[in-house]
Amino acid sequence: MKTIEKCIALVKEIYDGMDASHDFQHIERVYQNAQAILRTEPTANAEIVGLAVLLHDVSDAKYAQNKDAEERILNELALPDEERMHIQDIIASVSFNGGNELEAKTIEAKIVRDADRLDAIGAVGIARTFAYGGAKGRKLYDQEEEARVSMTVEEYRTKSTASVTHFYEKLLLLKDLMVTEKGKEMAEGRHAFMLSFLEQLKNEKNGKA
C-alpha cells in the first residue's frame, strides 16, 4: 500500500469522529486546495504536502481525545527521519493561534497552510464556522462583543466568542496572510463572499432585508 493510501486509512476514522468543521470532508477539501496550489509550485514535494494535509488536524488541541494520534500514525508510516520532521514542522506552522503563528519556512509548509486557510474562508468557511459554533454551543452573534485585535494562544483557544466575532478575529484576516501566489488568487473571491454574507446578515438581523 502506498504511503498516502495507508495514511488515509489510518486517519479517516479519527476525522469522522470529529464535528463537521474538522471531519474528513474538511481534509478532502484541503487536499484539493493543495493540489491546485501544487500545480503552480513544481519544486514542491507532493507526497510530503499530501501527508501533512492528511495529518494536520489529527491531533488538533480542540479535540484532546486524539492528542497522541499524530505521533502514533507517523510511527506506523515508518518514514525516514528527515521526512517525518519536515511533516511535523509543516503541521506546527499551519495553526493561526490567534495571530501567533509560526513561520512557514518551506514551500511545502506554505502550500499546506494556504490550502487549510482557504477552507476557512468563503462559503465553506462560513458553514464550518457555524458548524463548530453549534457543536460548542456558541451564539450566532453578539452585538455587544468586541473582536480582539491581539491575544495569546491561550486566550484564543479558551474564550468562547460568538461565531460572527470569529470572522473579525480570524477569517477576514486570512486573505492578507496567504503566502503562495495561487493561494492569494484563490482567497480573493472567497473573502469577498464573506463580506457579502456579513452585510446580508447585518441587514437581516436589523429587519432591512
Which H, E and C letters describe 111-145, residue by residue? HHHHHHHHCCCHHHHHHHHHHHHHHCCCCCCCCCC
pLDDT digits (tens, 9 = 90+) for 147-186: 888 878 777 777 789 999 999 999 999 999 999 999 999 9
Q: Which CATH class is domain 3-205?
A: mainly alpha
> Which candidate, 184, 167, 169, places its Cα nearest to that of 127?
167
> Which candidate, 101, 19, 15, 17, places its Cα nearest to that of 56?
15
Average pLDDT over the chain reads 93
pLDDT digits (tens, 9 = 90+) for 128-146: 999 999 999 999 999 899 8
Whether the per-residue pLDDT at 99 is higher than 70: the answer is no
Residue 61: how many CB atoms within 10 A of its CB?
11
pTM for the model: 0.93
pLDDT at 24: 97
The residue that leads in pLDDT, 105 or 63, is: 105
Whether the per-residue pLDDT at 40 is higher than 90: the answer is yes
Whether the per-residue pLDDT at 125 is higher than 90: the answer is yes
Task: Give mean pLDDT, residues 92-113.
Answer: 88
Locate the domains of the chain by residue range: 3-205
